[in-house]
Structure 1
């Protein structure tokens, strides 16, 4: 096949009556077969073509993760046009920039609230012909059209047959170093390669059930969408974050991908609950956790597990781990983690519980998937070996370079930035890493985010941040600072959903602003910092920390939509707090 629409067409022919998608409907779930997906995509694609979508044009999707996102994307691609993704959290000005820069002539918006953002900047988008709203009302002037009214007739197959593998399929905008977002151009072949590579490692099959909540505006979510079409795996789609726990128990999926923040949240909720209960439950949990981690470490080394340890693990599984797996429906075979570094401590806890997280790595510029740990050779702390067909090289300065069919065509309209990032076909990732004896990649840090203290020592902040979060279940985010400073410090934020029950049991304030100043709260954080410091070189240790009264968020700009911390923004927003750490000469 030469395109994603032809891939879908082949899937429909191969397994027309198999379940393709499951989606929320009323108080339950409804399903579509692959044949029914085709019946929804075909008229929508022809309707979009009648509105001007065609080869070389772009259509933006401004919508959360839901069935209509997938169907619309597949319909857009079938016209020969490319999908431009916009996060629902983007401001009106950010939406206008992406729409104008991409040259989108149509936008599919989720609801009237998203339409209102576009209406507020309508005069700034002269080439935007129509907004098609999923859940909303038409405008009197015809500019806004309900999506369910978009339909057409014509030669659908001829339209699909005309698409070439080198044609643009997706424009995904990522933040640039100057603050201007860059549109990453990904072709049909980029995505087809990524799907083929995942299929070749034989990780999942048609008997699995995939639960998808990740933003489809992000390359990770898009990759999963194409992979499931290629392999024929049914996908349950629901992008509501507050429904993840409930959906896992109800759907009982076998496979789910997530950002590390989700796994941290699960771990911290469980750990905080047993801490609060205390007594025998806490002692049993801590014993089971350490037993599981011991078994996980032995598995990673390929070492034999002694009989006594196997017996202890069986008891730990009955008392603790089996109950934890039941929370996720009891059928999870693997979790996949990507988009940010996963703490090794968190990974080993889950693995010990029989909920293995396979950490992977890729950039939007490499079609999201370039490396992935394999179930039979997991090494936590690494992102695994390259996927089949992906090449890797480590530059003299330690930067990871990626080659192969997954590498982007370039940045949209930015030839100089493209030339600086693509070096003779090799993608400069901006990440520092090394390969182990089995060819697995270890990412040590972002090239531009490594801290260099005033003493000339390099520190990898994300590693330390992950360790501290794993050591204290009440924390949402940790931010290690120290570039061009004489020692490292940290800002931490509280996860109030997790910490509030503990605070109530301890008779402490339930407001973050008051709780952060309480000695008991500082004591808990200090204990975690001390625990991690004992494992670090002296120049890496965190000498001081501050607990903030508010969490980092996408809305306030400290987090990306994929929940990664924007380091420069945090430094700007909390500069006074950071500067205050270094005013006391006694801390030097």
Structure 2
């Protein structure tokens, strides 16, 4: 199949902007809980629709008092926290455009984005961020204001705007239309300098409203209780931003968690008790591998692995039944599944708060077997696909017919087209307006309403999309063999000891790989085998560890032809990080930077 369309479910608004929902919801039901915010003691305190509206209004008046005007761009540099959402809706209330900046951005990255977007003001989380902005402020002549969240920017602005009448904010808000730019979101910059994607209020409306209508399981509109989610994805990324907007528009109780480490996240999941989660595959992988290591440490590895196998087979049988190709789990399999549900799966669900039954995964590919395991364990993970340029999801697996290992069908109102060269093209109301101040780059990807994504993929007979790689990442060996590295890298990374994998081989005689290790997994692996805790130099030469990684490579090679397979690999002593310029803030690999940094190691792979 070359093209597949799913009709829109939501009516396209002709007037208004994103902030209207805050005021409309408060007018309709002022006592409805819309947020949860941690108090000084660390306990979650519910925020009603009326309270949130009043906070947004007070902050909006303060922004006007401090000189922010309709159409101005204001940078936000912070981790994910309640105040970010508050500032977003306050800025939208006065017609301004937030410009998200990753909190880990360097001074030069901050300078580029703030200069390119011509921001007039900035919101930072703490003093270190303020110093980062301050180090480049002399090269930002348009920047006039700087507020710091940890220095009570919210309270100071509310006080500054106390004399302004509410109607002044409403006049600004009512001047917005769906075509008005809502934000400038910068791409991850895997292949060069980040580009500013201009996303309109209408882009977010088309994206979020269609998803909410389609995914009743996540956003129940009946009497099944209020949906809730704990947002820990970075709000500087389009995925987190879409969830923020979607939660407000759908009436979901939204909490914020700035720290994605297990030590911080798991206790908050237990107390917040979300009904659904949104994460990248890395998070789901970490949860699974942590549970498996714990089982091994407790001497329960064999029953745990058996439980995993039962969950996968059970989910596969349910998948077959959903697509009419099977009768579902056998009585024996159902009995095994019921036993392990009490012994194993319930513990996993309890770690996520006990109420979570659904999750959404995006940002990169999730291994099919991992998705099946979670489904068999009672948590259905909807894998999807999208870009910053599509306001997040363009495709997603439907609740009633999830096809694991794919990124699903087009979300309502979207068309997916596969070009002659295999490139995925997209069209829909969520497709962006263009790159800020870069007509040439815009013309390269937008063609009569179609977005050329740069990703390669295929559609099956039911319209499910599978992403096979990036056009720019495709390798061509010296023998002329074309290789998409993504399939190999994802399969190698599925091994619990492997953190990252980069496949190389462009203009080389064969394909090879660089592999980094997961420190926690390796520590556990050494402990369970009574091995000394080796340093990086000794560790990468350990023959048993090399044999484990080789198993991962062999497993990956079963997915491709012999000519495309990894012939040799090198285990590196340290991981690729954002700090050394080898990862983007959204944890995507900067391939050219990796190849340059490890040129000696790569050359050595071809001198054997």
1:90 aligns with 2:105: yes
1:233 aligns with 2:252: yes
Map 1:462-473 to 2 at 5 A. 462-470=486-494, 472-473=495-496
Partner in structure 2 of residue 114 of structure 1: 129
CA–CA distance in structure 1, aligned partners of residues 58 and 376 of structure 2: 49
In the alignment, is the contact (CA less than 8 A) between 2:62 and 2:158 conserved in 1?
A: no
Deviations 1:457-507 (A, max 9, x none): 33232222222222x212211222222222221211111123213313322
CA–CA distance in structure 1, aligned partners of residues 28 and 122 of structure 2: 32
Partner in structure 1 of residue 145 of structure 2: 130
Give the stretch that moved more between structures: 386-395 or 565-574: 565-574
1:486 aligns with 2:509: yes
In the alignment, is the contact (CA less than 8 A) between 2:77 and 2:100 conserved in 1?
A: yes
CA–CA distance in structure 2, aligned partners of residues 68 and 558 of structure 1: 30
Change (3 A) 1:177 1:343: closer
Partner of residue 259 from structure 1, selected from 256, 261, 280 = 280
Per chain length, whose mean CA-contact separation is higher, i.e. which structure has more relative contact order (CA < 8 Å, sep 6+)?
Answer: 2
Change (3 A) 1:63 1:148: farther
1:552 Cα deviation after fit = 1.6
Deviations 1:248-279 (A, max 9, x none): 2222211111111111111222233334555x
CA–CA distance in structure 2, aligned partners of residues 484 and 12 of structure 1: 61
Change (3 A) 1:513 1:9: farther
Deviations 1:190-238 (A, max 9, x none): 0111111111202423611111001111111110011111110001111
Partner in structure 1 of residue 91 of structure 2: 76
Partner in structure 2 of residue 411 of structure 1: 435
1:31 Cα deviation after fit = 2.2
Change (3 A) 1:178 1:353: closer
CA–CA distance in structure 1, aligned partners of residues 189 and 553 of structure 2: 33
CA–CA distance in structure 1, aligned partners of residues 116 and 52 of structure 2: 31
Partner in structure 2 of residue 199 of structure 1: 212
Partner in structure 2 of residue 141 of structure 1: none
Show structure 1 runs of 5+ residues with no match: 139-143
Partner of residue 320 from structure 2, selected from 283, 301, 323 = 301
Change (3 A) 1:481 1:38: same
Change (3 A) 1:292 1:178: closer
1:122 Cα deviation after fit = 1.4
CA–CA distance in structure 2, aligned partners of residues 335 and 145 of structure 1: 35
Change (3 A) 1:348 1:510: farther
Partner of residue 273 from structure 1, selected from 287, 294, 302 = 294
In the alignment, is the contact (CA less than 8 A) between 2:70 and 2:172 conserved in 1?
A: no
CA–CA distance in structure 1, aligned partners of residues 112 and 259 of structure 2: 26
Partner in structure 1 of residue 8 of structure 2: none
Count of matched residue positions in the alignment of Structure 1 and Structure 2: 576
Partner in structure 1 of residue 519 of structure 2: 496
Does the residue aligned with 2:384 lie in a helix, a strand or coil? strand
In the alignment, is the contact (CA less than 8 A) between 1:2 and 1:163 conserved in 2?
A: yes
CA–CA distance in structure 1, aligned partners of residues 593 and 23 of structure 2: 45
TM-score by length of 1: 0.94
Change (3 A) 1:137 1:404: closer
1:533 Cα deviation after fit = 2.6
CA–CA distance in structure 2, aligned partners of residues 181 and 535 of structure 1: 33
In the alignment, is the contact (CA less than 8 A) between 1:133 and 1:147 conserved in 2?
A: no
Does the residue aligned with 2:430 lie in a helix, a strand or coil? coil
Give the stretch that moved more between structures: 418-427 or 531-540: 531-540
Partner in structure 1 of residue 31 of structure 2: 17
Map 1:416-565 to 2 at 5 A. 416-470=440-494, 472-505=495-528, 506-565=530-589
Give the stretch that moved more between structures: 281-290 or 383-392: 281-290
Map 1:563-574 to 2 at 5 A. 563-574=587-598
Change (3 A) 1:534 1:385: closer
In the alignment, is the contact (CA less than 8 A) between 2:58 and 2:158 conserved in 1?
A: no
In the alignment, is the contact (CA less than 8 A) between 1:53 and 1:80 conserved in 2?
A: no
Deviations 1:164-204 (A, max 9, x none): 11111000111457622210000110011111111120242
Change (3 A) 1:309 1:145: closer
Partner in structure 2 of residue 246 of structure 1: 267
TM-score by length of 2: 0.91
In the alignment, is the contact (CA less than 8 A) between 1:195 and 1:226 conserved in 2?
A: yes
1:102 aligns with 2:102: no
1:392 aligns with 2:416: yes
Show structure 2 runs of 5+ residues with no match: 1-14, 221-225
